[in-house]
């Protein structure tokens, strides 16, 4: 006779088997939770909001009137510089103010030169208040020599009749367009109308290489320089109908040709190129004429990759910023600060109206980096804030968490 009845034995086996399955399920659950990323983890736990941050860099002087435009360089180890003196250029050695050469870059009534840039080929770009030039600078001999400036082609912003060209001070349509210089392509660009007898429209675009003006290809007759893109070894231009053109100095590549929301008229074709400190370049346009704004990243190819924008009423005004060594993109609009996480925008700071955000910028490097911005309410009420990396020595006022956005400016 068995010591234990069979029925209780069967029940005991089932209970033991059930306990075994329960333990296996419990161990499996623990393993999944241990090795899988927690769904509710805060992806911005390393950042916080602070009223104290890195020191802001000094503000640059306004447009160069206080400090004359200059460019410094060396020839065979000796220092030289070219300095603008009203509408003349002076070539000097080191700290000696005695000119080695003096040439004229004639301007109009105001006689001022904004900026000087020395290209790789020795040609000097001269950005004047009314007339732009390029001047040859011979760096192969000691001392160097400065040649006579060559003016950019004489064009006008609006169609202009030759009968009125000498009265352009009183005729705004006969003023000259500003040239734009591309350090990457080592050339200048200018777009405008040639002066005709009766003032018929005659729009044309030139590139100026080593002082020589060359027409851009006929189908790009109205291409206007927008921005230098050094990370892709080229520049972006904009066509009359809003098309995006990437130019590497040889080939002009149209982009956005199949983008359905691309503006097709000149008044709606304004767009802006934004380059962040990591070197990434973005193309965006504000909301114009009822259109939705768009944001795209310019990548090698060249190609434009669309980035979806949050559905917010103020996202037409968007500053793009990054932290060093962090691929995430931060967007600052008039009433919110957002960060791109897993290809979607998450709001971390909101500023309800009538308060608003102004002056966002990135400052500092690596672990000392910060995004600094100002919350304004009225004319005289404002407060500065910093988005910084959290650390034991960081005076954090509030952690960043997309699940609980911080509200500022509502008090």
Name the percent of the chain lying above pLDDT 70.
77
Name the percent of the chain lying above pLDDT 90.
32
Q: What SS3 state is found at 110?
A: coil
- Statement: residue 238 has pLDDT above 70: yes
Query: What integer is the mean pLDDT of 286-315?
Result: 72
Name the helix (H) or strand (E) containing 273: strand 272-275
CA-nearest of 56, 50, 60, 54 to 383 is: 50
Mode of pairing for the β-strands spanning 406-407 and 344-350: parallel
Residue range 301-344, pLDDT digits in tens: 888 888 887 766 555 567 888 888 888 889 888 889 999 998 88
Range of lowest pLDDT (308-312, 358-362, 381-385, 398-402): 308-312
pLDDT for the residue numbered 48: 92
Query: What integer is the mean pLDDT of 275-285?
Result: 80
Residue range 108-155, pLDDT digits in tens: 778 899 999 999 889 999 999 889 999 999 999 999 999 999 999 999
Query: What integer is the mean pLDDT of 33-49?
Result: 67
- Statement: residue 183 has pLDDT above 80: yes
DSSP assignment string, 180-246: EEETTTTEEEEEEEEPBSS----EEEEEEETTEEEEPPGGGTT-EEEEEEGGGTEEEEE-TTS-EEE
Range of lowest pLDDT (89-98, 212-221, 377-386): 377-386
pLDDT for the residue numbered 240: 74
Q: What SS3 state is found at 397?
A: coil
- Statement: residue 11 has pLDDT above 50: no
Domain ranges, ordered by start, for the chain: 63-151
Query: What integer is the mean pLDDT of 371-388?
Result: 87
Of the segments 29-43, 165-179, 183-197, which one has the largest average pLDDT value?
Answer: 183-197
């Amino acid at each position: 006779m068995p010591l234990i009845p069979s029925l209780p034995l069967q029940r005991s086996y089932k209970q033991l088997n059930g306990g075994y399955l329960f333990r296996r399920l419990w161990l499996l659950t623990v393993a999944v939770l241990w090795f899988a990323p927690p769904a509710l983890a805060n992806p911005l736990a390393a950042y916080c909001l602070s009223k104290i941050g890195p020191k802001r860099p000094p503000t640059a002087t306004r447009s160069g009137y206080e400090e004359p435009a200059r460019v410094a360089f060396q020839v065979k180890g000796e220092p030289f510089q070219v300095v603008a003196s009203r509408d003349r250029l002076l070539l000097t050695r080191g700290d000696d103010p005695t000119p080695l050469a003096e040439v004229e870059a004639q301007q109009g009534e105001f006689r001022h030169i904004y900026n000087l840039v020395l290209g790789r080929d020795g040609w000097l770009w001269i950005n004047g208040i009314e007339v732009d030039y390029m001047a040859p600078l011979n760096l192969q001999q000691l001392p160097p020599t400065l040649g006579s400036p060559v003016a950019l082609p004489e064009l006008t912003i609006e169609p202009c009749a030759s009968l009125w060209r000498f009265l352009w001070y009183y005729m705004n349509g006969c003023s000259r367009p500003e040239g734009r210089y591309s350090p990457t392509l080592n050339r200048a660009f200018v777009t405008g109308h040639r002066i005709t007898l009766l003032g018929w429209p005659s729009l044309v675009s030139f590139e100026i290489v080593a002082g020589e003006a060359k027409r851009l290809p006929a189908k790009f007759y109205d291409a206007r320089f927008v921005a230098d893109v050094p990370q892709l070894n080229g520049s972006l231009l904009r066509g009359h109908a809003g098309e995006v053109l990437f130019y590497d100095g040889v080939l002009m590549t149209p982009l956005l040709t199949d983008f359905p929301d691309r503006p097709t008229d000149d008044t709606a074709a304004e767009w802006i190129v934004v380059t962040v400190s990591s070197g990434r370049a973005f193309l965006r346009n504000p909301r114009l004429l009822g259109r939705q704004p768009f944001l795209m990243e310019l990548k090698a190819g060249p190609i434009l990759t669309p980035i979806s924008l949050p559905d917010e009423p103020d996202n037409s005004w968007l500053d793009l910023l990054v932290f060093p060594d962090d691929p995430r993109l931060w967007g600052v609009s008039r009433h919110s600060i957002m960060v791109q996480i897993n290809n979607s925008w998450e709001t971390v700071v909101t500023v309800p109206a009538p308060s608003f955000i102004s002056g966002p910028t990135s400052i500092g490097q690596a672990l000392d980096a910060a995004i600094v911005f100002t919350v304004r309410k009225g004319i005289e009420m404002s407060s500065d804030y910093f988005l910084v990396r959290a650390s034991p020595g960081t005076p954090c006022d509030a952690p960043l968490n997309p699940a609980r956005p911080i509200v500022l400016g509502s008090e």
